[in-house]
Amino acid sequence: MIQFAIEIPYWGQSLLRVLGGLVAVLLPAGTIVYLFLFKMMSFMQSRLGPMEAGPYGSLQLVAEVGKWMQKEDLAPDAADHRIFKMAPLIVLLSTFLLVVIVPFGPDAYFTNFSVGIFLGLAVASVSVLGILIAGWASANKYALLGGLRAAGQLIAYELPMVLAVLGVVIQAGSMNMQEITVAQNTGSWFGLDWFGSPFIVTQFVGFVIFMIAVQAELTQAPFDMPIAESELVSGYMTEYSGFRFLIFFIAEFATAGVFAFIASVLFLGGWGIPFSWFGWDNIDQVPDWMNLVGPLIMFTKMLVLTFIIMWVRFSFPRFREDQLQTFAWKVLIPLALLNTAITAILKVAF
């Protein structure tokens, strides 16, 4: 444990946490948009992507924010103005509440709740409210249809996600994010101590279900029916312009980053895994410098997972609305329940 030379007062600690939270939300969002959305997608489509702003277009993000800031903030006359303006902030709120549970090191965490992942699953669904509000308040038929589709999709894919997490909770015997990390670091596979025992090995079905559900929760293709541009213009975002639209956009990719953080804690061993060869089996034995290395490890894992999300997004055609619902209810949920039952039986038997 870290001993500070001076005791930091509560307001100082909270300020540090909030600043850390800002970095943990906005840095992944910026990286994902530049690296994957601007550059990787361009290379996959045999073009260069942004090249003008800064070396290799690396300042394109700054240029984009500057551009969006100068756009007029329009709202349809018929819209319900007050909640129309609130909706993007609610979606952003959901992202910030979600990052609260992610640990980045033995002492580098925002909160250390005993019910960490449970809280995360609860606040993740706040974004549904924002999207439904946006769709309804716009007073536009495209937006309304998009909002209803989004609500139907988000609740359908929330269940497989919750049930996939259940398998991890059974294996770790805890809902605390730190204890889930420790549970993966203290095991070993085939005598390989440094490898730990990441739950992606034992919970591979759970991992796949979780990632599919994340893809759907983020409304990334092939699950982008709510904003299907060929039939609904832009779904619930149709009437948004200027900076409010950009907030939806930022929140979407920030949430992608945060979900990837959560997935790397649940399935890839969080901040510990490649360094578990130092042979610790208790969180108090972890050296202090892991608080610096931990965030880097988490960031690397986040990039790997968001790479997979974006790769799938750029590769697969869109599901039809009925296929999308059928896939959640008839394939993923029974599979996730079966996974939970088998995990529980094996846990009790061994």
Angle, nearest 10°, between helix axes 141-172 and 177-185? 50
Contacts of 171 (CB under 8 A, 6+ apart): 183, 199, 202, 203, 343, 347
Q: Compute CA distances 68 → 24, 38, 81, 174, 242, whole Å.
A: 23, 17, 20, 44, 5
Q: Does 271 bind other proteins (CB under 8 A)?
A: no
What residues from 273 to 312 belong to the interface with other proteins (CB under 8 A)? Answer: none
Q: Does 108 bind other proteins (CB under 8 A)?
A: no
Q: Which of 134, 162, 200, 262 binds other proteins (CB under 8 A)?
A: 162
Q: Does 74 bind other proteins (CB under 8 A)?
A: yes
Task: Supply the minimum distance, in Å, between the C-beta of residue 51 and other proteins.
Answer: 26
Q: Does 16 bind other proteins (CB under 8 A)?
A: no
Task: Supply the minimum distance, in Å, between the C-beta of residue 133 and other proteins.
Answer: 13
Q: Rounded CA gap, 326 and 189, in Å?
A: 37
Interacting span for other proteins (CB under 8 A) from 12-20, 38-46, 264-272, 273-281: 12-20
Q: Does 335 bind other proteins (CB under 8 A)?
A: no
Beta bridge partners of 103: 109
Q: Which of 175, 228, 297, 298 binds other proteins (CB under 8 A)?
A: 175
> Which amino acid is residue 191, in one-letter code?
G
137: left (phi > 0), else alpha (psi -120 to 50), else beta? Answer: alpha
Q: Which tokens in the block code for residue 336?
A: 């996730």
Task: Supply the minimum distance, in Å, between the C-beta of residue 69 and other proteins.
Answer: 4
Runs of H (alpha helix) within 114-241: 116-124, 126-137, 141-172, 177-185, 199-202, 204-217, 229-232
Beta-carbon count within 10 A of 318 CB: 16
Q: Which of 78, 192, 292, 296 binds other proteins (CB under 8 A)?
A: 78
Q: Does 319 bind other proteins (CB under 8 A)?
A: no
Q: Which is nearer to other proteins, 17 or 318 (CB)?
A: 17
Contact 90/130 with Cβ under 8 angstroms?
A: yes
Task: Supply the minimum distance, in Å, between the C-beta of residue 194 and other proteins.
Answer: 27
Q: Does 331 bind other proteins (CB under 8 A)?
A: no
Q: Does 192 bind other proteins (CB under 8 A)?
A: no
Q: Interface mask (CB under 8 A) for other proteins, residues 121-160, using x and -? A: --x------------x-xxxxxxxx--x--xx--xx-xx-
Q: Does 103 bind other proteins (CB under 8 A)?
A: no
Q: Does 314 bind other proteins (CB under 8 A)?
A: no
Q: Which is nearer to other proteins, 232 or 310 (CB)?
A: 232
Q: Which of 56, 118, 311, 314 binds other proteins (CB under 8 A)?
A: 118
Beta-carbon count within 10 A of 275 CB: 19
What residues from 18 to 47 belong to the interface with other proteins (CB under 8 A)? Answer: 18, 21-22
Contact 339/164 with Cβ under 8 angstroms?
A: yes
Interacting span for other proteins (CB under 8 A) from 33-41, 203-211, 294-302, 329-337: 329-337
Q: Which of 134, 163, 209, 310 binds other proteins (CB under 8 A)?
A: 163
- In the chain, the N- to C-terminal Cα span, in Å, equals 33
Residue with tokens 């800064």: 54
Q: Does 112 bind other proteins (CB under 8 A)?
A: yes
